Amino acid sequence: MSRVALVTGGTRGIGEAICTKLKLKGYTVVANYGGNDLAAEAFTERTGIPAIKFDVSDFEATKAAIEQIAQDFGPVEILVNNAGITRDGTMHRMTFEQWNDVIQTNLTSCFNTSRAVIDGMRERGFGRIVNVGSVNGQAGQYGQVNYASAKSGIHGFTKALAQEGAAKGVTVNAVAPGYVDTDMVRAVPADVLEKIIATIPVGRLGKPEDIARTVEFLVSDNADFITGSTLSVNGGQHMY
């Protein structure tokens, strides 16, 4: 029986690329999504991967959904925390809601999902958790105090949980993408995007597949001696 992998925010962009890569590698993949039913339906039609709707920022809803996934597909042995949103704005204009929505969805979700799977992983002596951070959590970014804080928090969360899981066969790592060609980045004005690309030494935006390949390696048996690491996949934009 193939290992079950849950990818949050898995129906679009980087999440879809991760789901597709893991399915091709023989995993039983389940994608989570938060709100876009049409995109989720189209994703399942394209990939054959089931998409399950629940709010990763809601502890009880996440716990219930992961319990149902275990009943329907098997226990989650691979968890990829990819769900994330932006609510950009400078601090003097940022509302509490903008702050809280990003922290809850991007960071608290990692606790919610990991808490729901960690006991089973420890009992079975195997687990892979990969958290998707960001170059902006490493370097900071103007107008993204909330987003940078959440992503930086993910990097610290990764290192601490890795220490707890290591003796039980559970590895915990992070991937920190740079600017990747997704809907979120395409929404950046063209002149601004051109300036961003000029700061990337390899001279291009990342591709979702660049991130997916990194995740695929980290969840594999070949990466069992790697834990607590953050792999920067940013084309050399920020060397951390």
pTM, two decimal places: 0.95
**pLDDT at res. 77:** 98
Contacts of 224 (CB under 8 A, 6+ apart): 169, 171
Q: What share of the chain is helix, strand, coil (3-state, %, to 5)?
A: 50, 15, 30
Decide if 147 is catalytic.
yes
Average pLDDT of the segment spanning 90-110: 97
Check 27, 33, 142, 147 and give the catalytic one.
147
* pLDDT category of residue 1 using cuts at 50, 70 and 90: low
DSSP-assigned beta bridge partners for residue 7: 31, 80
